[in-house]
Amino acid sequence: MLKIRTKLRIVAAIAACLAVITMITSCEKEDDEVDIKLLDTETSGLFHMRKFFYDEQNRIKEMWTYSGEQLMDKAIITYTGDDLTKLEFAYLDEGEFVAMDTRNFIKNGNTISYSMSVYVVEGEEEGSQNINCTITLNNDGFIEKHEGVLLGMSWVNNYTYINDNLIKWLSVTKGYGSEETRESNYTYGTYRSAYSGCNTPKWFMFYYFHQYASHNAVKKEELEYIDAMGIKTIGSIAYEYVFDSDRFPKKCTETINDEYEITEFKYKN
């Protein structure tokens, strides 16, 4: 799951704004649910692991991604009071810094504007690129729309929720005389998702983790893609879990076609 979702590298840092994902059906909160349960590590396959660090308010402040024993990138989150104001990625290759992705968030009511500056070191050369994006929040503080422009292309991503679960994600990308549409619809079980037990602002959790930030654990994703030629492709992803006594996932098997990936979750004590 870690490898599929956010194995962000240099080019992926730019592509992250175009990421397309999500949709879902949900369930009511159980009276005996644990509210705070902090994810410590998420491990996918044999080599990919993400480790989480939190502040005193149980908000994510750093995420480190490893491939085997090698640290690949660090995500550092800055808060100003109650607002999440900055996300920084430092990318490494064999321990050497190769790129920096910085996003500064400015919140004004239900609108968050941000710039994304990507700085890349390539041998003797250095380069940078700036991207401007806007996030619109609903009354619950969840992302309702995410839009921006990149290299002559524009995109608008729309999010629909039921009971704190993302049930639909619709993305339209336009540029160079063409248009592409992606749509994901999700269904959920009754147990919790691995990312639902912290106090990180929900808009950021859906921005970064998409459907996995929902209150409940996603069970199925149905996808539809229409390319610039009008050709439609459909598919689906199934998720099977092993849960702990607090109703949080310990293990997830994600299956698409005949291929699968296993992700294991460990939580703070």
**Residue 250 falls in which region: left (phi positive, over 0), alpha (psi -120 to 50) or beta:** alpha
Nearest in space to 86 (alpha carbons), one of 117, 120, 64, 124:
117
Please give the Cα distance from 3 to 187 (Å, whole number).
22
Q: How many Cα atoms are found within 13 Å in the side-chain-facing hemisphere of 252?
A: 25
Query: From the DSSP assignment, how many helices (H) and strands (E) are in the chain?
Result: 3, 16
> Each residue of 82-115: pLDDT tens digit?
999 999 999 988 878 888 899 999 999 999 999 8
CB 65 within 8 A of CB 72: yes
Mean pLDDT computed over 123-136:
74
pLDDT at 22: 33
Query: Closest by alpha carbon to 24, among 216, 192, 194?
Result: 216
DSSP string, 153-208: EEEEEEEEEETTEEEEEEEEEEETTEEEEEEEEEEEEEEEPTTTTS-S-HHHHHHH
Task: Please tell me the distance from the alpha carbon of residue 19 to that of residue 30, in angstroms, as a whole number.
Answer: 32
What pLDDT digit, counting tens, does each position of 219-235 carry? 999 999 999 999 999 99
CB of 201 within 8 A of CB of 39?
A: no
The arithmetic mean of pLDDT across residues 6-12, rounded, is 37
